[in-house]
């Protein structure tokens, strides 16, 4: 059953989010619309920050991974909740600063940051840059020296753990465009280079082993490898790396097949392992950073669409045509991502149909879900797609010149727009 802290069914049998009727929200704000239970997002932020207190005695920080959903409101919320932000582009840095987010709590990621982005980040005074490759190290060192600054660096390390194979393996991730490999000695070489480079200070190591992970083992293994590397660095260079960023990747529920585990079940064994290796190798427990994105916002939003047509092809399938699609949610076309779809006005009634939900783009692959069980819908009904809070709006496009949807938050029982619906005028704004 989909009912959660954010979603419920009211007396009329309608789906609610944050206590408000989704059919009324669709009528008020129009469709397609993405609606967040903002109290739920805040709750998730607090779960993470409290877990840093519980498992690391407060010696750490949670960075919300902006890429999951980035706008002024999300940056303000992260600021209110005393978090940092993982940002991956000049655009995300700009958004955060425009929201009044303190630059020194921005952590700038990316495998190919441009010269302009690096100069912008250094000038703004970002808290740290997560360095990805040797050319970038040279670039940062040069810009910092030229401008009389010291860049605080993390090095992105590939711990050699592929969390997406059934039995995760320790070599798979060497084939990744991100970061420095441990096995080849590349990572140690870069650590030494960083320690010897002018204008930079090595403050931490970073790893991120993947996304939508349910198993705790790869996280524990990654923590073990990274702590071991901190000890190896101390042994070889005498330098004690003070901070360790363990990335994000915690899984959420999209369909009934997903069975996310409580946050404590990740945090406890990982922190145990960090302390175990610290003791065994006699290195201090580092300041710990986490970078959850999906698990902060993903399950706290629904996208509401209006059904325009129901096309039954006897013996083949039934297409339900909606007024959005891959433009606002490309995750099915990209990853065949599973979703739960509901007839918003009959959310409490059992499914009596199996349909393919199709978007409105001129593209046969523009689907939101295939073979989805649903309570029968017809033209004019509101169709809700659950768990669309992460990597939907942030990956939205204007394919076919379809304006991006509005985004609404429900907070304390009040709904308000946080991103206005795009207009046709905005679509031609940059055209010359
Ligand atoms: N830190 C780093 C360095 C990352 O690359 C990512 C995600 C995160 C943190 C946050 O991971 P999360 O907690 O959200 O799993 N577009 C894909 C997901 C791409 C994830 C990219 N990196 C999707 O829609 O499933």
Q: Which atom of ligand 1 is nearest to the CA of 395?
A: 16
Helices and strands in the chain: count of H runs, count of E runs? 12, 21
Angle, helix 72-80 to helix 90-98, in steps of 10 degrees: 60
Of ligand 1's atoms, which has the minimum distance to the CA of residue 156?
3
DSSP-H helix ranges across 17-71 = 22-29, 38-56
If residue 300 lies in a helix (H) or strand (E), which one and from where to where?
none
- Give percent of the chain above pLDDT 70: 98
* Rounded CA separation 149/240 (Å): 22
Class of residue 396 by CB neighbours under 10 A (exposed 0-12, middle 13-18, buried 19+): buried
How is 98-162 classified by DSSP, letter by letter?
HTT--GGGEEE--SS--HHHHHHHHHHT-SEEEE-SHHHHHHHHHHHHHHT--EEEEEEEE-S-B
Residue 361 makes CB contacts below 8 A (sequence gap 6+) with: 325, 326, 327, 399, 400, 402
Q: What's the pLDDT score for residue 171?
A: 53
Task: Locate the ligand 1 atom nearest the alpha carbon of residue 212 and give its number.
Answer: 15
Taking the C-alpha atoms of 288, 291, 296 and 299 in order, what is their torsion angle to the nearest 10 degrees? -130
Instruction: Encode 189-198: b = buried (16+ Cβ within 10 Å), e = exposed.
Output: ebbebbeebe
**Residue of 66, 67, 89 with the most ligand 1 atoms within 8 Å of its CB, for mutation:** 67
* CB 85 within 8 Å of CB 64: yes
> What does the pLDDT look like over 394-430, one tens digit per residue?
999 999 999 999 999 999 999 999 999 999 999 999 9
Average predicted confidence (pLDDT) for the chain: 96
β strands within 228-352, DSSP E: 243-245, 287-290, 301-313, 317-322, 341-343
Query: Quick check: helix, strand or coil at residue 46?
Result: helix
pLDDT digits (tens, 9 = 90+) for 37-67: 999 999 999 999 999 999 999 999 999 999 9
Of residues 69, 106, 100, the one with CA closest to residue 86: 106
State the pTM of this model: 0.97
CA of 295 to the centre of ligand 1 (A): 10
Find out whether the beta carbon of 79 lies less than 6 Å from any atom of ligand 1: no
What's the 248 CA to ligand 1 centre distance in angstroms? 7
Q: Which residues are catalytic?
A: 362
Q: What is the pLDDT of residues 278-309, one digit of tens each?
A: 999 999 999 999 999 999 999 999 999 999 99
Q: Distance (Å, rounded) from C-alpha 336 to C-alpha 330?
A: 9
How far does residue 290's CA lie from ligand 1's centre (Å)?
A: 12
12 or 175, which is more confident? 12
State residue 164's pLDDT score. Answer: 74
Q: Is the CB of 90 within 6 Å of ligand 1?
A: no
Per DSSP, 169 falls in state B
Residue 304, strand partner residues: 33, 384
* Distance between first and last Cα of the chain: 51
Measured distance CA(353)–CA(348) in Å, rounded: 14
Radius of gyration of the chain (CA): 23
* % of the chain residues with pLDDT over 90: 94
Q: Is 158 in the pocket of ligand 1 (CB under 6 A)?
A: no
Could you give the 3-state DSSP secondary structure of residue 432?
coil
Q: Is the CB of 291 under 6 A from ligand 1?
A: yes
pLDDT in tens, 192-249: 999 999 999 999 999 999 999 999 999 999 999 999 999 999 999 999 999 999 999 9
Average pLDDT over every residue of 355-377: 97
Query: What pLDDT score does 1 carry?
Result: 72
Residue 178 pLDDT: 87
The protein residue with its alpha carbon nearest to ligand 1, atom 1, reads: 247
């Amino acid at each position: 059953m989909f009912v959660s802290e954010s979603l419920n069914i009211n007396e009329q049998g309608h789906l609610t989010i944050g206590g408000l009727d989704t059919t009324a929200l669709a009528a008020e704000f129009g469709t397609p619309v993405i609606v967040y239970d903002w109290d739920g997002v805040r709750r998730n932020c607090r779960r993470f920050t409290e877990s840093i207190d519980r498992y690391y005695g407060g010696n750490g920080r949670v960075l919300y991974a902006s890429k999951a959903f980035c706008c002024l409101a999300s940056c303000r919320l992260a600021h209110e909740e005393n978090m940092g932000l993982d940002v991956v582009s000049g655009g995300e840095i700009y958004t955060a600063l425009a929201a009044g987010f303190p630059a020194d709590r921005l952590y700038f990621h990316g495998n190919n940051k441009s010269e302009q982005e690096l100069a912008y980040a250094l000038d703004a005074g970002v808290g740290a840059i997560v360095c990805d490759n040797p050319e970038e190290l040279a670039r940062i060192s040069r810009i910092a020296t030229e401008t009389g600054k010291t860049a605080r660096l993390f090095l992105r390390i590939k711990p050699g753990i592929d969390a997406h194979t059934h039995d995760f393996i320790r070599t798979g991730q060497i084939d990744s465009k991100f970061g420095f490999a441990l096995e080849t000695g590349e990572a140690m070489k870069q650590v030494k280079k960083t320690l010897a480079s002018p204008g930079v200070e090595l403050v931490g190591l970073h790893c991120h082993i993947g996304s939508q992970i349910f198993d705790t083992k790869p996280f524990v293994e990654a923590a073990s490898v990274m702590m071991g590397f901190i000890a190896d660095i101390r042994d070889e260079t005498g330098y004690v790396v003070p901070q360790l960023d363990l990335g994000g990747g915690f899984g959420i529920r999209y369909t009934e097949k997903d069975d996310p585990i409580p946050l404590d079940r990740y945090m406890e064994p990982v922190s145990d392992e960090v302390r175990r290796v610290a003791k065994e190798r006699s290195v201090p427990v580092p300041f710990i950073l986490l970078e959850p994105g999906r698990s902060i916002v993903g399950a706290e939003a629904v996208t509401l669409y209006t059904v325009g047509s129901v096309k039954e092809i006897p013996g083949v399938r039934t297409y339900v045509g909606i007024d959005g699609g891959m433009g606002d949610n490309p995750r099915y076309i990209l990853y065949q991502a599973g979703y739960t779809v509901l007839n918003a006005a009959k959310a409490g009634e059992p499914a009596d149909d199996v349909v393919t939900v199709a978007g409105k783009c001129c593209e046969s692959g523009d689907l939101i879900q295939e073979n989805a069980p649903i309570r029968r819908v017809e033209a004019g009904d509101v169709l809700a797609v659950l768990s669309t809070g992460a990597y939907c709006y942030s990956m939205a496009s204007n394919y076919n010149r379809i304006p991006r949807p509005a985004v609404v938050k429900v907070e304390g029982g009040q709904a308000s727009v946080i991103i206005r619906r795009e207009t046709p005028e905005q679509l031609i704004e940059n055209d010359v």
